[in-house]
Amino acid sequence: MLALIDYGSGNIRSAQKALEAAGARDVRVTADPDLITRADQILLPGVGAFGDCVANLAGVPGLRAAIEARVMVDGVPFLGICVGMQLMAEMSIEFGTTPGLGWIKGVVSVLKPGDRQLKIPHMGWNRAEPSSDCQFMATWDGPQDVYFVHSYAFRAVNPSEVAAWCSYGEERFAAAIQKDNLFGVQFHPEKSQKAGLLLLEEWLKL
């Protein structure tokens, strides 16, 4: 059973349809801590401001604790999408300092492409380049164009935990993060056509 976390901070319907198209058989859209503690996989979407997403997680009694117990103690596969990936960081400096989940060392900070013609947010198609040792993106067989919508990026302390990179002007930022059972993508696989579905298919095999 796959728990797709519905905490008021993600495009749930699009994520659910993409998971089902990728072969997921039992997707539960939920914020029920009891159900989450029985999940075999957990997906956390996220759109909007980091602080709002943190507040929404905290706003459901027992939700964060259930996710952390299942992911960090039991070790079930976890996928964070967009802000859902950023929440794994230690903190964000978007509109002040907001602590994250602290699962992966790093800070979320604003993109600085260094070219006034490049707009923020970074929105649209761009190329993600998998790291050589990334197990989840092996199915891509090389760089792929994927769909981004974001103004902030995850700055991982340990570069070996960056599963894929993307360049936007002078910026080179983490397009994906990987550590043990934790995986996250800054782009939206549900909007990234074949490349996104291939990635979801690979993650569902875990």
pLDDT at 164 over 90: yes
Residue type at 120?
I
Task: Let me know if 82 is a catalytic residue.
Answer: yes
Please say whether the beta carbons of 86 and 75 come within 8 A.
no
Check whether 149 has a pLDDT greater than 70. yes
- Give tens-digit pLDDT for 110-134: 999 999 999 999 999 999 999 876 7
Which of 53, 82, 122, 166 is the catalytic position?
82
Q: Is 190 annotated as catalytic?
A: yes
Task: Tell me the helices (H) and strands (E) count for the chain, helix number first.
Answer: 6, 13
Mean pLDDT of 8-17: 92
The answer, yes or no, to whether residue 144 has pLDDT greater than 90, is yes
Share the mean pLDDT of the chain: 95
What is the pLDDT confidence band of residue 136, given thresholds at 50, 70 and 90?
A: low
Instruction: Output the pLDDT for position 20.
Output: 97
Q: How many domains does the chain have?
A: 1
Per the DSSP assignment, residues forming a β-bridge with 128 are 144, 166
Q: Domain with 147 in it: what CATH number?
A: 3.40.50.880
Structure tokens that stand for 168 in this block = 């936007």
Strand partners, 99: 91
pLDDT tens for 17-28 read 999 999 999 999
pTM, rounded to two decimals: 0.96
Instruction: Report, as an integer, the average pLDDT of 92-110.
Output: 96
pLDDT, position 139: 81
Q: What is the pLDDT of residue 140?
A: 86
The whole-number average pLDDT for the span 48-57 is: 95
Q: Who's near 104: CB < 8 A, 6+ residues apart?
A: 88, 89, 90, 156, 161, 177, 179, 182
Q: Is 166 a catalytic residue?
A: no
What average pLDDT does range 88-97 have in this prediction? Answer: 95
Helix 193-204 to helix 12-21 angle (10° resolution) is 70
Query: What does the DSSP assignment read for 69-119?
Result: IIIIIS---EEEETHHHHTTSSEE-TTS-EE---SSSEEEEE---S-TTS-
Residue 138 has pLDDT above 80, yes or no: no
The predicted model gives 197-204 an average pLDDT of 94
Which residues constitute the domain of residue 125?
2-204
Chain-centroid distance, C-alpha 158? 17
Which residue did the predictor score with more confidence, 146 or 137? Answer: 146
Average of per-residue pLDDT across 156-164: 95
The least confident of 86-90, 138-142, 183-187 is 138-142
